[in-house]
Amino acid sequence: MKGYDVQIENVSRAYGSFKALDDVSIDIKKGEFFSLLGPSGCGKTTLLRIIAGFDSPDTGILLFDGKEILSQPPEKRHVNTVFQSYALFPHLTVYENVAFPLRLKKIDKNLIDSKVREYLHLVQLDSHIHKKPGKLSGGQKQRVAIARALINEPSVLLLDEPLSALDAKLRQNLLVELDHLHDQIGITFIYVTHDQSEALSVSDRIAVMNQGKVLQVGTPYEIYESPATDFVARFIGETNLFEATVVNCDPYEDYFMTTLDIPALNSLVKVTDYDNLEKGQRVSFTVRPEKLKITGERPNKVGKDINLFHGIVEEPIYSGFQSKYYVLLENSTVIKVIQQHANYMDEGPEIDWKDSVFVSWSAEDGYIVEVVDS
Amino acid sequence: MMNNRKREIRLGTTYSFPMGIWLFIFFLVPLLIIILYSFMKKGLYGGVEWEFSLAAYRQMFNPNFMRVLVRTIVVSVAATFFTMLLALPCGYAMARSRNQTLLLALIIIPFWTNSLIRIYAWIAILSSEGFLNETLKFFHIISESLPLIYNQGAVVTVLIYMYIPFAILPIFTTIDKFDFQLLEAARDVGANKTRAIISVLLPNIRSGIITSFIFTFIPIFGAYTVPLLVGGKDSYMIGNIIVDQVTKTRNWPLASAFSLILTLLSTLGVMWMMVSSAKERSQSGKKNPSFRQGGNL
């Protein structure tokens, strides 16, 4: 495997009284596609700038393959960056932009020429190479920026929200290309984004950050299915999140069934949980909208592990492949339900505005996010 | 729509009339008068006699005058060069500073004082009993006054002082618009600080550098008060000759001929600067002729 292991240990960085990074530790493995995900101002860009060498932490250390790197200036680190604003040199053509890193090294001209061609081909930009960046479209600029960052054959590629300035369709295409590129060259990618769907679709692992802290590091599934905190649950995808109190927890009997009292639902809810929780403990409970079932009539069989609620559809949102319903439950709490449209529907979805519906989910589909200290 | 557009165009040209009249009266007409006068016979008590003559141009090729011309070029180039050399870091620091307004004010405040007074202030600083010599003597760094004034060095120093604001301001404006992330991008791909500034910052602020050059070189080339007040007997510049020819020798055709030469040479200097930078720009696009063919496919 090419690339570096990147170890970030206890890194903190403050600007005045603002803590941009607060004791952050992350281990990134060789060749991994690793994403730093969080809302703007969460510290992800600061962390990226520290890895690139444009900023240095107040405390903490940074290791590449076990070697301390903070003392090295940016030009000495085997790390290259794809900037959010592309940062292409406006006075140079596409060709010269990509050749720039090599020309700094006084390499033989023919060698430079063949390498520049190779990398421009790699990012599928064989035409327009003698244009200035000002004449290129956003997607083309992005390709030039990627080629320029890769031509030095870095061990780590840093990508700072590289797709945020592009339109949605193009973003999807470039994302897939980035993933292919990563598979092809096999170096460590560190990808900064605030877009959870981008992070989920390409990353090997993700670190979710907020207010300078790392909240959770894990694979996309772990982050989506078992979020570590309320924030992670809300930030990644959509969810229904409730405060709850443990009423009954008997992990060694009853198939790990835990019963929660949820005031917002005015009801007891059953959930499968493997932790040994105490009675009376306060927790956060989440269930993803797509895991809920919505039916016009009361289901025939309701097992003891099924949670069932009755309500009225307040707002149906049809978007082709799925519909999202905001269902107003009897005790005036609104719950989100997503229904996939797997079959052909000639006459539209069966469930409509103001319909009386039943919402249900199995105990296995809910998840206890975290224990709230009280 | 069509009508509106037409009216706009017509109005647009009308708006430019005052500017045209201004340039005609205060630039073109004087220039033509100067050209005309330079080909006339000199009048006995100043002015000209209306008779064609090349006497002024013959007189100009006097070795004494030629020496002054060469000196003027050397002094102007040196003063402009050092002005730009100082203005670049100043403009950079201003553009990156948080107190831009304060720094701008500091540059503009000296203009509230008349330029002659500011030159006299330099005499007070540089003269043999001046501030600088007395201070150095007070700290026993020197025992006898240094010859700081009435020489070429004093002329260049004061010229730099007088014209550096005109160099800083255009450089500051272009650096202020420069995207500093480009420097990070250059560092990122392996350029050290100096290299990043030379290959990325300088080419991108070229227009500001050219404007600064024009704003400093032209007035320095025609300067006459500075060499007169702080220069020695070997510091005469073309500007001084012109003043002398008008006020003392009363040879107006010769003064006109020198003015014309001054205008021509400074225009040539500016054009050389612009052409060479344009050439540099077009060359950088042609560095890979072999690849160019491939690129056309």
pLDDT of residue A251: 65
Residue A371 has pLDDT above 80, yes or no: no
| A306, A362 contact by CB (below 8 A) | yes
What pLDDT shows up at residue B7? 54
More confident residue, B295 or A42: A42
CA–CA gap between residue A43 and residue A28 (Å, rounded): 17
Interchain CB contact of A54 with B (< 8 Å):
yes
Task: Give per-residue pLDDT as tens, A337-360.
Answer: 999 988 888 877 788 889 999 999
Position B232 scores a pLDDT of 85
Position B54, amino acid = L
Predicted confidence (pLDDT) per residue in B92-134, tens digit: 999 999 999 999 999 999 989 999 999 999 999 999 888 999 9
Angstrom distance (rounded) from CA A368 to CA A260: 10
Residue of B191, B288, B295 lying closest to A75 (CB–CB): B191
Q: A77 to each of A58, A64, A71, A154, B192, how far by Cα in Å?
A: 20, 9, 10, 8, 12
**Is the confidence at residue A262, as pLDDT, over 50?**
yes
Question: From the CB of residue B135, how many other CB atoms can be counted at a distance below 10 Å?
Answer: 12
Which residues of A are less than 8 Å from B185 in CB distance?
81, 83, 87-89, 148
What per-residue confidence (pLDDT) applies to B158?
A: 96
Residue A143's nearest CA partner among A189, A128, A154, A155 is A128
CB-based contact B257:B58 (threshold 8 Å): no
For residue B256, the cross-strand partners are none
Instruction: Provide the number of CB pairs (under 8 Å) joining chain A to chain B.
Output: 83
Nearest CB neighbour to B285, from listed A74, A93, A100: A93
Q: Does B285 touch chain A (CB under 8 A)?
A: yes
Within 13 Å and on the Cβ side, how many CA atoms surround A253? Answer: 3
Are A149 and A79 in contact by the 8 Å Cβ rule? The answer is no
Of A73, A81, A113, the CB nearest to B291: A113
Chain B CB contacts of A73 under 8 Å are 187, 192
Considering CB atoms only, which of B189, B287, B294 is closest to A100? B189
Question: In chain A, what are the domain boundaries?
Answer: 6-235, 240-373
pLDDT at A369 over 80: yes
Looking at residue B124, the DSSP 8-state letter turns out to be H
Q: What's the pLDDT score for residue B95?
A: 94
Give the strands of the sheet with A156-160, arranged side by side: A79-82, A156-160, A188-193, A33-37, A205-210, A213-218
Interatomic CA distance for residues A233 and A288, integer angstroms: 9
Tens digits of residue pLDDT in A101-148: 999 988 899 999 999 999 999 998 888 899 999 999 989 999 999 999
Domains and CATH numbers, chain B: 63-296 (1.10.3720.10)
- Closest Cα partner for A215 from A226, A204, A227, A205? A227
CB-CB under 8 Å, A54 with B187: yes
User: Is domain A240-373 annotated with CATH 2.130.10.10?
Assistant: no
ipTM above 0.95, yes or no: no
For domain A6-235, the CATH class is alpha beta
Q: Is residue B254 a contact partner of residue B60, using CB atoms and an 8 Å limit?
A: yes
From first to last of its 297 residues, chain B has per-residue pLDDT tens of 445 555 556 676 778 888 889 999 998 999 999 999 999 988 877 788 888 989 899 988 889 899 999 999 999 999 999 999 999 999 999 999 999 999 999 999 998 999 999 999 999 999 988 899 999 999 988 888 888 889 999 999 999 999 999 999 999 999 999 999 999 999 999 999 999 999 999 999 998 999 999 899 999 999 999 999 999 888 899 999 999 998 888 899 999 999 999 899 888 888 888 887 777 666 544 443 333 333 332
Residue A302 at interface with chain B, using a CB cutoff of 8 Å: no
Nearest of A83, A100, A4 to residue B287 by alpha carbon: A100
- DSSP letters of A22-81? EEEEEEE-TT-EEEEE--TTSSHHHHHHHHHTSS--SEEEEEETTEE-TTS-GGGSSEEE
> So what's the pLDDT on residue A217?
97
pLDDT of residue B4: 55
Q: Which of these ranges, A233-237, A253-257, B93-97, B151-155, has the smallest mean pLDDT?
A: A253-257
pLDDT of residue A346: 81
Q: Is A52 on the interface with B (CB under 8 A)?
A: yes
Q: pLDDT at residue A254 above 80?
A: no
CA atoms of A338 and A328, how far apart (whole Å) = 14
How far does the CA of residue A239 sit from the closest CA of chain B (Å)?
38
Q: How far apart (Å, rounded) are the C-alpha atoms in residues B295 and A162? A: 26
Q: Helix B252-284 to helix B63-96 angle, to the nearest 10 degrees?
A: 50
d(CA A195, CA A208): 11
Question: Which is higher by pLDDT, A300 or B220?
Answer: B220
pLDDT tens column, A144-171? 999 999 999 999 999 999 998 888 888 8
Instruction: Check B181 against A83: CB less than 8 A apart.
Output: yes
Mutate to test the interface with B, among A45, A48, A75, A79 (most CBs of B within 10 A): A75
- SS3 per residue for B133-156: HHHHHHCCCCCCCCCCCCCHHHHH
Give the per-residue pLDDT at B278.
76
Give the mutation candidate from B187, B189, B282 for the A interface (greatest A CB count, under 10 A): B189
pLDDT at A255 over 80: no
Task: State residue B294's pLDDT score.
Answer: 33
Nearest to A198 by CA among A218, A178, A175: A175
